[in-house]
Each structure stands twice: as structure tokens, then as C-alpha cells.
Amino acid sequence: MQTPSSTASLPPATVKKPWYRQLYFWVLIAIVLGILIGWLWPRTGQAMEPIGTTFITAMKMLIGPIVFLTIVGGIAGVADLKRVGLTGVKALTYFQVGTILAMITGLVAINIFRLGDGVNADAATLKTTDSANKLIQAGQKQHWWEFITHIVPNSVVGPFVEGDILQIIFLAVIFGVAINAVGKIATPIQDAVERLTALVFKVLSFIMKLAPLGAFGAMAFAIGKYGISTLTSLGSLILLFYATSALFVIVVLGSIMAYLRLNIFRMLGYFKEELLLILGTSTAEPALPGLMRKLEYVGVPKSTVGLVVPTGYSFNLDGAAIYLSLAALYIAQATNTALSVPQQLGLLAVMLLTSKGAAGVAGGGFIALTATLSTLGTIPAAGIMLIFGIDKFMSECRALVNFIGNAVATLFVAKWNRELDVDRARRVFSGEVLPPPAGAVENDFDMEVLEQEPREQSSDDRSHGDTTPTIISESDAVRIDHERLGDAHPARH
């Protein structure tokens, strides 16, 4: 029998929550229920809209502060500001190359299968709805250079009120550099930023517990409003988009991960909760905080995560790039607009600019598509009505690919900076539980599937100095806990 003091310094054992208590399981159940409600009882499904929109609104409420505090804290804490600038340049370089590869993938796919041939749509007779007209007008007024002038906000508070991530990044970089440059006198401010960051993430952990409700409401509304028939009417185009996106993730992004000596599928498993949340809500914004914290746990430095991930949400939209090229060529084929290879390459060049111009704007993908067609002039902009009905069902895939692309981009930039611990990343992706890296703040929303409980250490463990965490079941943990209490209080036996 051991004395109480002998158990005080024992290493922790990791207790893995059963599958039915993990968040991703309940999000998946909510998505399935949402589809059934929307399909069988459409009116009831449409009535669920406030549930989904309220959850997304609550998440977006924290996105701005999280992005701002993370970037400020990351930049303020680095010793070499030049390194931060180089990281930004490397990230933007990667974003451009990744966007080009995504657009080429979409162009190749639609040129091979040519799903628009035979539609023979007359653009002059296509009627546009009021909601579509607003997006078309916004796209026609969009200029490729606006994203540059739009970066500078009119006020310090404005970007947070409007939720403009690009402007928030601009402010955060300036404030972070200023705190770093001031030196010791700004130490209290830097400490306050760290404390506020921990506080905001704690609030986020509370909201994340409602993720299943948000996914249920959003999915029930989408199916109830647009119906399963919408999926079948242009099912071939939806299928091609999903297949092309999957091919891009597996082949292109998978190749990049292989270069990093990491496995793309294990990474997807690591982010399963975030991916299911995106699938249910049709937007990648609620998953941004989880992506940032989990990448820090993988071992990517906080300063790199804080700069690359938020910037990628505006500039590294692989899913949107595939959608733009595929949709534009489909409309051209459907309206019998012949495009030569040079014209298609010119279309790609225009999309590289217009896609950035619509970053962070509501209905950005659709606006970017309209802006592209209006700028090019050869494809009738009214042709977007051919795909307007299914755009909602393509948004899930766009958001998923955007999310995955940003995760890979951050890992790649970290490797480029020679600051990625590949061995740690591989072990974390494989499900191994490791202590948080230096400088990372533990939080309970992204690592909630794991709990730490003390365990009895065998004589063999003590003799060999083994301090490796051991995964045990929850019931065994309770039994061990009772045994430990019994050892501490022998009078109870």
C-alpha cells in the first residue's frame, strides 16, 4: 500500500471521452436530423432558421476580437519584426500559387466534362430575382483594386462593428508592431492582451457547446427552403464541383502534406469537429478559432498562426477559386459562349484579382463571379441565374476546402520558416496526447475530447522513470480514483 505522498508526483494518465460524449458526434447527429426535418417537414425546417443564424452570429461576434488579439499578441511577443514581415510575404506567395492551382483544377475539370453543353440558355430571356439582382449589381460595381484601398478602415471601431476581417488584420498588425517597437513600457498592454485572449477563448468554449443546435438549425433551414429537388436538378454540376474539390484536397494539398512528411487524412481526422461544424453551418468562420488553437497545439508558433490563418481567410480561398473557374466556364458553355485557351487564361487572371476584391463581403463568391464576368465582357453576367439556385449547396464545399487549404498553408509556411516540429505534428495528428508546446495556452474547447486524471504508477514505471501518459477508459479512471482514495484513507477498508 502506498502512502498519500507517494501518489502526489505521479505522471498523468489520459482519459479519452467515449464517442457519445464528444462534440463532433453530436454535431453529426444534428446535421442528420436537420436534413430529415427539412426534407420531411419543409415549413418546420424553414422555421429553424433563427437557431442556425443566432449561433453563427454569436460565433462571428468573437471572430474579430480573436483575430485582433491573436495577431497583436503574436507580433508583440516576437524578438525579430523582420521575421514577421518575411512570414507575411511567404504566406502571400503561397496563397497566390495555391489559388492558381485551384483555379486551374476547376478549369481542367469543366473542360473535360463540359456539363454546360446542350443547355442552350438564352441570356436575354433569363429572369433574375431581387436577391440575385443585388448581388449582380454589387459584382458589377466591384473593381479589382478595391481590396487594396478597402484595407484601411475609416475608424478603429468600424471593422469590429462590420466584421471586416481584412481591416481587423490591418489594425492588428499596426498595433502589434507598435507594442513591439515601444518596448518595456508596453509590457502591461502585452500582458493585458494575453489575459483578454484567454478570456475570449473561454467565452468561445461556452458558445461552442451549442454547436449541435447551430448545425441543426442551419441544415434544417437549407433543406426546407431549397428542397432536395434543387440538388437533383443540377446534380451533375454539384457532383463535379465536390469531386473536383476532393481531388484537389487529396492530390494537390495531399502532395504538399507529403512534402512536409505529414498525412493529409490524419490531419482531416484531427480537425473533424471543425469540418463537421462547417458542413452544418455552411461557413468556415465559426471554425477559425478552433483551427488557430489546434495548430498551436500541433506546434506551429503563435505568431505564425496568428498572421497566416486570418490572412488566409481573406486571400487563400482554394474552394472559392475552384468554384469561380468551374462556374464561369459552365455558364459560358451553357450560353454557347466559345472561349479559346488564351481567353480562359485571361479569365483566370481576372479571377485572381476579383476574388480578392470580394474577400470578406457577404455573398462574396457570387459577387466575385459576377465581377469576373462583367470585367471580361465575353460571358453574359445574367447567366449566373443558371446556378443561383444551387449556390447554397456548393457553399459547404467551398468553406470546407477553404478551411483545409488554410490549415495546410499554415503548416507549409511554418516549415518554410524552419519552425515546424514535424515529429510532434505527426504524433498529434495520429491522436497522441502531448503536453502543450511552450507558449501555448491550454483551453477546453478544442481539446475537450481529452481529460487529465492522475493514475497509479506501477513499480516498473517508477524503476524505469516512465512518465509517458497512458490512455485508459473512463470507468478504469473512476476505479483507480477510488483505489487511490482508499490508499489515502486505510481506515475505510
> What are the pLDDT digits (tens) for 375-418?
777 888 777 777 876 777 788 888 899 999 999 999 999 999 99
pLDDT digits (tens, 9 = 90+) for 297-346: 999 998 899 889 988 887 888 988 999 899 899 989 988 888 888 888 88
Q: Could you tell me if 437 and 297 are in contact, meaning their C-beta atoms sit under 8 angstroms apart?
A: yes
- Residue for grid cell 492582451: 193
8 pLDDT more than 80: no
Give me the helix-helix angle, 364-376 and 130-141, nearest 10°.
60
Mean pLDDT of 10-28: 62
Q: Could you give the CA distance from residue 370 to residue 364 in angstroms, rounded to a whole number?
A: 10
Cβ neighbours of residue 63 closer than 8 Å, sequence gap 6 or more = 163, 165, 285, 288, 289
52 pLDDT more than 50: yes
Cβ neighbours of residue 34 closer than 8 Å, sequence gap 6 or more = 45, 48, 215, 216, 217, 218, 219, 220, 222, 223, 280
Q: Could you give the CA distance from residue 305 to residue 268 in angstroms, rounded to a whole number?
A: 18
Write phi, then psi, for 156 (nearest 5 degrees): -75, -35
CA neighbor of 345 nearest in space, from 95, 108, 146 = 108
More confident position, 72 or 132: 72
Q: Could you give the CA distance from residue 434 to residue 428 in angstroms, rounded to a whole number?
A: 7
110 pLDDT more than 80: yes
- Which grid cell sits at 251? 492530390
* Pairing of β 450-454 and β 471-472: unpaired
Percent of the chain with pLDDT over 70: 74
Write phi, then psi, for 129 (nearest 5 degrees): -80, 170
Percent of the chain with pLDDT over 90: 24
Q: Which residues pair with 424 in a beta bridge?
A: none
Q: Could you give the CA distance from residue 312 to residue 102 in angstroms, rounded to a whole number?
A: 14
Q: Could you give the CA distance from residue 214 to residue 50 in angstroms, rounded to a whole number?
A: 9
Q: Could you give the CA distance from residue 428 to residue 269 in angstroms, rounded to a whole number?
A: 11
Question: How far is residue 372 from each of residues 53, 106, 184, 328, measured CA to CA in Å?
Answer: 29, 15, 49, 8
Cβ neighbours of residue 491 closer than 8 Å, sequence gap 6 or more = none
Per-residue model confidence (pLDDT) at position 438:
66
* Pairing of β 450-454 and β 12-16: antiparallel
Q: Could you give the CA distance from residue 319 to residue 396 in angstroms, rounded to a whole number?
A: 9
Per-residue model confidence (pLDDT) at position 231:
54
Segments in 77-129 forming alpha helices (H): 81-113
